[in-house]
Amino acid sequence: MAGGKEPIEVKFRLFDGTDIGPSKYDPSTTVSALKDFILARWPQDKEINPKTVNDLKLINAGRILENNRTLAESRVPVGEVPGGVITMHVVVRPPQADKNSAKQLANSPKQNRCGCTIL
């Protein structure tokens, strides 16, 4: 490995408790590349399927990892067991409504609601 650094073993814990990995990565691997790896190996039987890297968030030791940072920069050595596997949690962002559907929702007729006033 570059600079004599040991590969870092990481597994990814999905929202339902299943795992992707563990796999070994060079410390210079970016968080964005890790997300690409997750997307490529995402189980197709899941109810929620991310479409892009931006749909995923990686969390390590309570910190959301930034796409442009490397694995070495994102590590939190406190609590790690030497030679152990690091578990990162994967959160999928809910799909966001596009502008057209938001406009349709805003223009849709309002449902009848109680208009009670307490005096």
What pLDDT, in 10s, does the model give residues 78-102?
Answer: 556 666 788 899 999 876 655 555 5
Q: How confident is the model at residue 65 (pLDDT cuts 50, 70, 90)?
A: very high
What distance in Å separates the CA atoms of residue 73 and residue 66, rounded to the nearest whole number? 10
Return the pLDDT at 116: 58
Reported pTM:
0.71
Return the pLDDT at 73: 86
Phi, psi of 84 (to 5 degrees): -85, 170
Return the pLDDT at 1: 43
Q: Terminal CA-to-CA distance of the chain, rounded, Å?
A: 74
Q: Is the pLDDT of residue 103 over 80?
A: no
- Going along the chain from its start, the domains and CATH numbers come out as 8-92 (3.10.20.90)
